[in-house]
Amino acid sequence: MIDEPTVYLSSSAVIPDAKIAKCLLMPLPKDDKSKLLAQAGYTLDNWQQLKKDLQTQVLTQPARFIETNRYGDKYEICARLTGQNEVSLDVLIIWIVNDGTTRFVTLVPDK
């Protein structure tokens, strides 16, 4: 087995505000993540904190390359995300890197 080099993604990754507010923190009938994130105190009222924590807590962790697809190189970061209420969530965050730009794709519970 070949050891893969440790990769860290850019801390200036693109994390669209709408993706935080409308996909992660908005209650949805399918693939709802708002209940999970609410456990750590993340709500629509403080969506900026979740964005900041993704940059400071998650992007500081090593990433694992998954595959190259038509959108770019896909990576995952398994991390512990701790909200302001000190509740921690084990999460898996997917990122795409294309033309030197790192973009947030989604967040799911790490089971």
* Domain assignment of residue 53, yes or no: yes
Token reading at 68: 């190259």
Residue 92 lies in a domain: yes
6 within a domain of the structure (yes/no): no
Assess contact for 69 and 50: CB atoms under 8 A: no
Q: Is residue 1 part of a domain?
A: no
**Cβ(85)–Cβ(40) under 8 Å?**
yes
| Domain tally, the chain | 1
Residue 8 lies in a domain: no
Instruction: Give the pLDDT confidence score for residue 2 in this predicted structure.
Output: 59
Closest by alpha carbon to 40, among 82, 80, 79? Answer: 82
Mean pLDDT to the nearest integer, 73-79: 97
Is there a domain that residue 78 lies in?
yes
pLDDT computed for residue 1 by the predictor: 52
Q: Is residue 2 part of a domain?
A: no
pLDDT tens-digit profile of 14-71? 999 999 999 999 999 998 999 999 999 999 999 999 999 999 999 999 999 999 999 9
Domain that holds residue 22: 17-109
Is 66 inside any structural domain? yes
Query: What residue has token string 């989604």?
Result: 106
